[in-house]
Amino acid sequence: MLIKLSNELISDEKITFKKNTTEDASLRGAFSVSEKLKLDLTIPRSYGVRMAVMRLHRDGEAERDIPFNTVECGSFTLTLDMSELGVGLYYYSILFLRGNDTLFSHTVNNVDLELSERKGSDFRMLVYSDDFTTPDWFKGGVMYHIFVDRFYKSGNSPVREDAENQNDWFAPISQYGVIPGAAVKNDLFYGGDLYGITQKLDYLAKMGVSIIYLSPIFKAASNHKYDTADYMQIDPCFGGEEAFCDLIAKAEEKGIRVILDGVFNHTGDDSIYFNRYGNYPSKGAYQSEDSEYRNWYFFDKNKKAGYECWWDIDILPKLDHRTESCRRFFTSEEGVGAKYAGMGTGGWRLDVADELSDDFLYEFRKSVKNANKDAIIIGEVWENAADKIAYGKRRHYFQGKQLDSVMNYPFRTALLEFILNRNAKVLADELTDIYSSYPKCVADCLMNIIGTHDTERIITVLGDKKYKELSNRELSGHYMSREEYTEATKLLKIASTIQYTVYGVPSVFYGDEAGLEGGRDPFCRRTYPWGRENKELYKHYKTLGKIRNVPVFKTGDFKIIEYGADYIIYQRSLADTKVLICANMGNEPVELNVKGRDLLTGKSFCGIVESKSAAICYIEK
């Protein structure tokens, strides 16, 4: 790592800053509590630096200065014993003392260091528990995210008589708000079910899928099921528990594990717990102060609905996890989390993890891991989770007692900046920052998304010039022009190549591999286009699925090699294996002076990456 000068402070001579544990740790910023970290600075004499000092502080505590030891003129070293620091989050900067003035470190990505005449951004350092591990089976996999009602209809599950049932699988979504964000009943069902997913397991296996992540499947009034009615019942419209157990068993035969969506911050108002409409025989919290569930919720006469809701949506009353019976319903050894982990699922994705308390997450992890030590726990966190502050409180997701992984939204944001605006620096810095911020075992398990049920379809984002300005009525039947779609397909091949080759696990939202279009919710939840797939894209995704079998993409190291204004080159390495990936969004070819085989084409790499294309070069020994 080379230190850059933020302005022409001194000279062009090189300064080096290296970190080592038992190996080179220059790209790392997270360490186990038993590790010792050695930092080495080498500074040319022309800089006039007489002393280097680390200014360190534990999050929320006062700073303290730790001087580097002088090895010889211009060479400084410092060793930190993480056991003396203890598990927690730390920040530090480095001061360079030069007689009458001081220079300060500054970093934009938690790795690269610039010099500044004023205090800049600190480095982040996370110290985590020695016993923190993440499931090995998850690493190197391919995740497939399914919105159950819209994937495949088996015809074997009952339909609701009190809902709107659409028998035409390809009919446009006709139920939407008058304006974006307006209330929608969301009881339009197309009939997709768990039996249907089981029938399509061969299709998923051919794509290299090893993980199925299901949108919520518990009984609920809506098609999306984020308004849970009964956590102990699989929705009958999805086939019930019989279909669920059949899917788990058949998927396991094909080497595929199923992850569930845990919506534990709130329930539906039409639930056995709240029972706002009296549809359940139980005495719900809304009905009576004598209900066993009354203190599970926040009732407040000053609130518009008379109770606290998630984002003021009155059909989603918020749960009060301070109430032990409420929290333990989910987190105890007999709770919801452990129950389904013990039924053979691969783990949980936790909806709005920022709104779940530390106590909830501690207890949930313990019970789920006791039920299934290999279960993975992924949180929905939209920012860098290493030092996330949510509702005024610092979170401790990756210190060893809460989450295994998060949805990598920062990656999606930076990737789109690169693909749409040709800004390679943003992508390079974000990839470097996240990789250095998280424990390695977390980085290998990150859920790398480019589209979800909460975002516009990725192919629409990449190619549609009109979707942002259209009304919901216009979006319902809107599709790109042929020219736009062709260009978007080309861009999606580049985006997905990056998604599949950086650290972590790619998560494909059902239909993205088939070129399914769609704007904002609910139009991103169109039905899978069976028989109308984009065959070019599907072939590409099948190739990427095979490439994921190369061990370097499971736990290999990651390093940015080079980037320009509109191209990026990075490397994955494991033992003697090296793979170089280049994505070029520029108008001119990029030359790479390496020999190897392009895993995308299966042919010898020619050394050229053409405009708006990508290459995955397996470097021959």
Mind listing the pLDDT tens digit for each residue in 584-607? Answer: 999 999 999 999 999 999 999 999
pLDDT over threshold 90, residue 106: yes
pLDDT value of residue 22: 95
Q: What is the mean pLDDT of residues 145-161?
A: 97
DSSP string, 399-438: TTTS-SEEB-HHHHHHHHHHHHH--HHHHHHHHHHHHHHS
Q: Which pLDDT band, with edges at 50, 70 and 90, does 482 fall under?
A: very high
* CATH code: domain of residue 570: 2.60.40.1180
377-421 pLDDT tens trace:
999 999 999 999 999 999 999 999 999 999 999 999 999 999 999
CB proximity list for 493: less than 8 A, separation 6 or greater: 537, 540, 614
- Final residue before a domain boundary, out of 275, 301, 318: 318
494-530 pLDDT tens trace:
999 999 999 999 999 999 999 999 999 999 999 999 9
Q: Which pLDDT band, with edges at 50, 70 and 90, does 431 fall under?
A: very high
* CATH code: domain of residue 47: 2.60.40.10
Q: What is the DSSP letter of 96?
A: E
pLDDT value of residue 5: 45
pLDDT over threshold 70, residue 275: yes
Nearest alpha-carbon partner for 303 in 292, 316, 290: 316
Q: How many domains does the chain have?
A: 3
- In a domain? residue 579: yes
- In a domain? residue 34: yes
- In a domain? residue 215: no
- Final residue before a domain boundary, out of 80, 105, 128: 128
Q: Which pLDDT band, with edges at 50, 70 and 90, does 181 fall under?
A: confident
pLDDT value of residue 73: 82
Catalytic residues: 351, 380
Radius of gyration of the chain measured on its C-alpha atoms = 26
Q: What is the DSSP letter of 169?
A: T
- In a domain? residue 18: yes
Rounded Cα distance between 241 and 565, Å, is: 53
Helix, strand, coil distribution of the chain in percent, nearest 5: 25, 25, 45
Weakest mean pLDDT among 2-16, 105-119, 389-403, 416-430: 2-16
Mean model confidence pLDDT for the chain: 96
pTM of structure: 0.96
pLDDT over threshold 50, residue 2: no
Backbone angles phi, psi at 198, to 5 degrees: -60, -40
pLDDT over threshold 70, residue 11: no
Q: What is the mean pLDDT of residues 471-485?
A: 97
pLDDT value of residue 45: 84
- In a domain? residue 607: yes
pLDDT value of residue 13: 62
- In a domain? residue 72: yes
Q: For the chain, what percent of residues have pLDDT higher than 70?
A: 98
Tokens linked to 44: 């040319």
Q: For the chain, what percent of residues have pLDDT higher than 90?
A: 93
CB proximity list for 153: less than 8 A, separation 6 or greater: 169, 190, 191, 192, 193, 196
- In a domain? residue 526: no
pLDDT value of residue 99: 84
pLDDT value of residue 4: 46
Q: Which domain holds residue 578?
A: 557-619
- Final residue before a domain boundary, out of 128, 159, 179: 128
Weakest mean pLDDT among 95-104, 153-162, 222-231, 523-532: 95-104
- In a domain? residue 312: yes
316-333 pLDDT tens trace:
999 999 999 999 999 999
pLDDT value of residue 6: 42
